[in-house]
Amino acid sequence: MRAAIAVALVALAAPAFAAGGVHIHEDDWERALAEAKARDQLLFVDAWAPW
Amino acid sequence: MRAYVLPDARLARHAGQFVWLSIDTENPENAAFLARFPVDVWPTFLVIDPRQEKPLLKWLGSATAAQLDRLLQDTAGRGPARGGAGATLARADRANAEGRLEEAVAAYRQALAQGGLAWPRRGRAVESLVLAQAAAGRLEACAATARREAPRLTRGTSFANVAGSGLSCAISAPPEATWRSSALAALEPLVREALALPGLLADDRAGLYEGLTGARAAQGDEAGARLLAERWWSFLEGERRRAASPEARAALDSARVTAALALGDPARALPALETSERDLPRDYSPPARRAYVLRELGRLAEARTAVEQALAKAYGPRKLKIYLLAASIMERQRDRASLAATLDQAVAFAQSLPAPQRDEKVASALRAKLAAIE
């Protein structure tokens, strides 16, 4: 339950956008890390730069 | 990548299995992430174990949706046969992601030996091996792996990337290296074959043209290099006409500049750069590239205006390289006062960057230029 609440709070607060069903956090390592720990899921990171 | 690959349905099925994070490496707010997970190739994809805060996989460069789908399956433990070759591949990926390149190379080799020629992950594992060898500076081994493995790979993205990476390793070797000439001769036909394959990413295909052009030039065949550069340019122009958005059109601008330079005609790239600059007014890359091209053309006053526009828009670590470009333009203009002021600003900006985002080589070059004129 604690994990579920943590996930809900993180999901509400995190800046993110959705791409084809994939919910992506933007530039927020700490929040994404907290959510991954709470959900017990791996993190997928796309590191990019304007090109 | 973000606009085209991530929305793909093949990745959407992993949506609830990973937490997804996008990191702009130019953004100072991402310094803490970059201190833990350094990035020097764009894009770089990482899969991170959040409990240990360690990378399980680091993938350099772009990837098709199908490639990413397989990588995600591998790291999520749902790929075929997690024991044996699959487990060794996972160990190799972890070593590679943590920068233990020699260990990664040995483990990728072991995984290939365990998996055998029919192993479904063979193409991906060979691709990772070649890239790890290249990153470790083992150019001869990189080219040799590509020569040996590419011919027996299924024709597809991994085949193209293995052949292309092997050719790049051979081109990057010193001309006096005794193995270089035969490696170039063996790899060129494979890269030509790869060019004919459907389904490659446009920037991968552009990289194959660049490799073939470089291979011809490396062997002293200027006419052949020019012929390939013309084909490369035609491909890039076709992509420009086909592009569905300004971002997609601008994604190959870097290749357009390189191809135009290979043709000895840098001005060819200017119309595309001007279009990108109009379409993407907040992006620093189009004016920076235009400044570079104009400098090559000797149009220094225009280059100066363009580089000042790029500096006004740049905000992250790459701004240091734009300062370096500005300095080179001012040197050619013999404008010593502006040069000194710009280098002062550049050194101060370098100091203001968080350490993980400061390219020390570029920062040192700027400091050395400033010291030289003081």
Is it the case that residue B3 has pLDDT exceeding 60? Answer: no
Residue B368 has pLDDT above 80, yes or no: yes
Residue B61 confidence (pLDDT): 87
Q: Do B20 and A33 touch (CB under 8 A)?
A: no
What would the pLDDT profile of B279-295 be if each residue is shown by its tens digit? 999 999 999 999 999 99
A49: chain B residues, CB-CB within 8 Å: 24-26, 42, 316, 318
pLDDT tens readout for residues B227-286: 999 999 999 999 999 999 999 999 999 999 999 999 999 999 999 999 999 999 999 999
Collect all residues of chain B within an 8 Å Cβ-Cβ radius of residue A29. 21, 23, 30, 32-33
Q: What is the ipTM of this complex?
A: 0.83
Residue B20, C-beta contacts closer than 8 angstroms, at least 6 positions apart: A22, A23, A24, A25, A32, A43, A44, A46, B6
Binary contact (A48, B24; C-beta < 8 A): yes
Runs of H (alpha helix) within chain A: 2-13, 29-39
Query: In angstroms, what separates the C-alpha of A39 from chain B's closest C-alpha?
Result: 8
Joined together, the tokens standing for residue A3 give: 């994990």
Query: CA angle, B14 as apex, B12 and B15 as ends, to 5°?
Result: 65
Q: CA-to-CA distance for B231 and B56, rounded, in angstroms?
A: 39
Buried b (16+ CB within 10 A) or exposed e, B204-229: bbbbbbbbbbbbbbbbeeeebbeebb
Distance CA B225, CA B210 (A): 10
- The pLDDT value given to residue B76: 76
Q: Does A13 touch chain B (CB under 8 A)?
A: no
In 3-state terms, what secondary structure has residue B228? Answer: helix
pLDDT score of B73: 85
Instruction: Give yes or no for residue B160 having a pLDDT over 80.
Output: yes
Between residues A36 and A11, the one the model is more confident about: A36
Question: Nearest-CA distance from B97 to chain A in Å?
Answer: 13
Alpha-carbon distance B62 to nearest alpha carbon in chain A (angstroms): 10
Residue A1 predicted with pLDDT over 50: no
- d(CA B23, CA B235) in angstroms, rounded, equals 31
d(CA B89, CA B91): 5
